[in-house]
Chains A and B, each alone.
Chain A
Amino acid sequence: MTGTTLLSVENVVVDLPTPRGNLRAVDRVNLTVGAGQTLGVVGESGCGKTMLSRAILQLLPKKAKLGGRVMFDGQDLVSLDREALRKLRGRSLAVVFQDPMTSLNPVLTIGTQLIETLQAHLELDIAAARKRSVELLTAVGIPAPEQRLTQYPHQLSGGMRQRVAIAIALSCEPKLLIADEPTTALDVTIQAQILDLLAREQRRRHMAMILITHDLGVVAGRTDEVAVMYAGRVVERAPTLALFKKMRMPYTEALLAAIPKLDAAPHTVLPAISGRPPDPTRPIKGCSFSPRCRYAVARCHQEKPGLTEAETPAHQFACFHPIEMPATVPA
């Protein structure tokens, strides 16, 4: 990891009270993102990655309990007052949500939603804000940006809407952009375009980015570091190159195996991960992945493994029986 640390998530815990009991959505997570760096957070639905992003943004549901510290740019976001937080959000900390169909307000024009963000943080008059909005829409690859300003979200396609959402996120030149599954709700053909757009803008603006996804393939060429989450915990983190060279955690391996391969023969059975993630309201004693792990032994069911260092301090994993062989992906 190079450069100064921009964001450091320290021992973050998110508890959600539910009718079935307490649900620990995020369990003692530690992460850092350096200025201008990109971190990928990978995991299945329900592994807590969205809750983690909400915890960083301080956008958790009212009843959720948050523990730990979220240091951003020298300030602890957890203890920041509402007004200071408001000035930070949208200004230096921006987000793109998963579903552009629901994340844009249906009764406000694209222009309103862009301009209000600009005017909330930058001292711009209407004309200047409009001009900048047009520039932003052009930058994210939206044709005829002038006309778009007066249109409503439903008049745009899903991909276009996500571009608008990205334009809104980029509008105040944030230091950190959190992209929470930005392509999951989109057509496959558009997914790569949006990801490339994010990567391009990230480099151009020297902005740090957290890319949250369930697809290990997405983070492969686009991130500096990857954290794999399972059942609320980080189970493996490593510089992206190191991870793909030698993954240690069986869960990471299983995730990689679950990605469809373009070069696989037609009708190949996709090796899905058997079983389902554990019920987060009923924590299990041992390693959370042990019920589904094909390497699990008795100890895995009894004790929870902590994060231990692999060859380098930057590569950490939580497993008693890490994979020793260089990752060979079953075809």
Chain B
Amino acid sequence: MAFFVARRLLYLLPVLIAVSLLTFSIASLLPGDLALTILADQATPENLAALRRDMGLDQPIWQRYFIWLGNVLQGDFGRSFRTGQTVLQAVAERLPVSIELMLLAQLGALAIGVPLAIICAARSGGPFDRFMTGTAFGMLSVPTFLSAILLIYLFAVELRWLPATGYVPFAEDPLGNLRFFVLPSLTLALAEWPGIMRILRSDMIATLQEDYISLAKAKGLTPARILFVHALKPSSLTLVTITGINIGRLIGGALIVETIFALPGIGRLLVGAILTRDLIILQGVVLLVAAGFVIMNFIVDLLYAVLDPRIRHGHA
């Protein structure tokens, strides 16, 4: 186990370095002049040159990378030239919103996908299974923003049950906070459940063919125990894998959903930074999100090892 963790950690480092390189080069190598963007209309050759000198833009590119990386490693991701807020402040302020959204969405997707997968696998080939498999396939073709529009139209415009946009912090008004989160997390969950259901279903159908399931039946265990303990537990590894693969999609989906429902999360910070050309915020947020993504995948890998006794004991 320790060896496993060490090996994954060793792999993590070069990926993180590459991520920082790529982020830096997007911001520095691609066409577009940071100093010009900041000064916009007020740009004169003199103050442009002065600003470039202040920001170190006149130095060679590799030197700038190491200076930037050094700052980043000390926790200095830069400061927005529009709001004056540091990247870390801005991210820290908005991170809880994004995490709450993604957690609620993932829970919702699991709550829809897992029971459906179990029922379909237990009755595979039956009418319910065929109907749900078809529905899941159809749902995979519904973009997040489409289900968002549909949910807004249904629950906010027609029925007027839930707010379409807005946010209050959980600490101020827990119930109100959750009310604002219902539609956004449901939107994201609608995009995520078909994948969960499809993979878990086919995985469980395969598991249900195993000898140990026959033995579990021959032991006279209850159908519920066979399904939930003997069949679902081996498949839970798959569930962790799906969750891992879905994190990237989830982050992208959260960005769209936050923007549509006006939730002040990381995604909206990023979109805002793009629209106002706030490049320092943009660079910092992209780096942090990518690093967070890499680390989350690392955690999923570890979780996988913890769940599978064969990997845990170094047999794989």
A interface, CB within 8 angstroms of B: 57, 59, 82, 86-91, 94-95, 97, 99, 102-108, 116-117, 120-121, 152, 154-155, 165, 168
Contact among B218, B221, B230 with A95 in the assembled complex (CB-CB below 8 Å): B218
What B residues does A108 contact at CB under 8 A? 229-230, 233
If A102-B210, A154-B310 are given as contacts, then 15 extra A-B residue pairs at C-beta distance below 8 Å, sorted by A number, are A87-B220, A88-B220, A89-B218, A89-B219, A97-B215, A102-B212, A105-B233, A105-B234, A107-B307, A116-B221, A120-B220, A152-B313, A154-B315, A165-B215, A168-B215
| Interface: B308 (CB within 8 A) | yes
Q: Is the interface of B mostly helix, strand, loop or mixed?
A: helix
Question: Once the chains bind, are A59 and B221 in contact (CB under 8 Å)?
Answer: no
A168 to B234, CA, bound (A): 20
Q: Which 9 A-B pairs rank lowest in CB-CB distance, beginning with the nearest?
A: A90-B220, A90-B219, A89-B220, A102-B211, A105-B212, A152-B309, A103-B211, A95-B218, A117-B219
B interface, CB within 8 angstroms of A: 210-212, 214-223, 225, 229-230, 233-234, 237, 307-310, 313, 315
With CB as the reference atom, state the residue of chain A lying closest to B125: A62
What A residues does B307 contact at CB under 8 A? 107
B129 to A: closest C-beta gap in Å: 13
Contact among B211, B221, B308, B309 with A117 in the assembled complex (CB-CB below 8 Å): B221
Contacts A97-B214, A97-B215, A154-B310; A107 near B234 (Cβ below 8 A): yes
Question: Once the chains bind, are A59 and B214 in contact (CB under 8 Å)?
Answer: yes
With CB as the reference atom, state the residue of chain B lying closest to A95: B218
A20 to B: closest C-beta gap in Å: 19
A165 to B218, CA, bound (A): 12
Contact among A90, A94, A99 with B221 in the assembled complex (CB-CB below 8 Å): A90
Question: Once the chains bind, are A117 and B230 in contact (CB under 8 Å)?
Answer: no
Question: Once the chains bind, are A90 and B218 in contact (CB under 8 Å)?
Answer: yes
Question: Once the chains bind, are B212 and A103 in contact (CB under 8 Å)?
Answer: yes
What A residues does B214 contact at CB under 8 A? 59, 97, 103
What A residues does B233 contact at CB under 8 A? 105, 107-108
Question: Once the chains bind, are B210 and A89 in contact (CB under 8 Å)?
Answer: no
11 contacts between A and B (CB under 8 A): A57-B218, A59-B217, A59-B218, A95-B215, A95-B218, A102-B210, A116-B221, A116-B225, A120-B221, A154-B315, A168-B215
Question: Once the chains bind, are B211 and A99 in contact (CB under 8 Å)?
Answer: yes
Contact among A91, A99, A107, A120 with B222 in the assembled complex (CB-CB below 8 Å): A120
A106 to B211, CA, bound (A): 11
Contact among B217, B221, B313 with A154 in the assembled complex (CB-CB below 8 Å): B313
A86 to B315, CA, bound (A): 35
A106 to B220, CA, bound (A): 19
A196 to B296, CA, bound (A): 53
A246 to B211, CA, bound (A): 38
Contact among A90, A102, A116, A154 with B309 in the assembled complex (CB-CB below 8 Å): A154
Question: Once the chains bind, are B308 and A103 in contact (CB under 8 Å)?
Answer: no
With CB as the reference atom, state the residue of chain A lying closest to B313: A155
A120 to B229, CA, bound (A): 14
Question: Once the chains bind, are A89 and B217 in contact (CB under 8 Å)?
Answer: yes
Contact among B215, B223, B225, B309 with A106 in the assembled complex (CB-CB below 8 Å): B309
What B residues does A121 contact at CB under 8 A? 220
What A residues does B230 contact at CB under 8 A? 105, 108
Question: Once the chains bind, are A168 and B219 in contact (CB under 8 Å)?
Answer: yes
B155 to A: closest C-beta gap in Å: 41
B312 to A: closest C-beta gap in Å: 9
With CB as the reference atom, state the residue of chain A lying closest to B231: A105
With CB as the reference atom, state the residue of chain B lying closest to A112: B229
With CB as the reference atom, state the residue of chain B lying closest to A101: B211
A19 to B220, CA, bound (A): 32
Question: Once the chains bind, are A107 and B220 in contact (CB under 8 Å)?
Answer: no
Question: Once the chains bind, are A103 and B220 in contact (CB under 8 Å)?
Answer: no
A97 to B219, CA, bound (A): 12
Question: Once the chains bind, are B309 and A105 in contact (CB under 8 Å)?
Answer: no
With CB as the reference atom, state the residue of chain A lying closest to B209: A61
A331 to B101, CA, bound (A): 78
Question: Once the chains bind, are B217 and A91 in contact (CB under 8 Å)?
Answer: no
A134 to B: closest C-beta gap in Å: 19
What B residues does A107 contact at CB under 8 A? 233-234, 237, 307-309
A59 to B216, CA, bound (A): 11
What B residues does A116 contact at CB under 8 A? 219, 221, 225, 229
A97 to B309, CA, bound (A): 23
Question: Once the chains bind, are B221 and A106 in contact (CB under 8 Å)?
Answer: no
Candidate in B212, B220, B229 with the most chain A CB atoms within 10 angstroms: B220
A91 to B217, CA, bound (A): 12
A168 to B237, CA, bound (A): 26
Candidate in A94, A107, A152 with the most chain B CB atoms within 10 angstroms: A107
A49 to B: closest C-beta gap in Å: 16
A155 to B237, CA, bound (A): 19
What A residues does B308 contact at CB under 8 A? 107
What A residues does B309 contact at CB under 8 A? 106-107, 152, 154
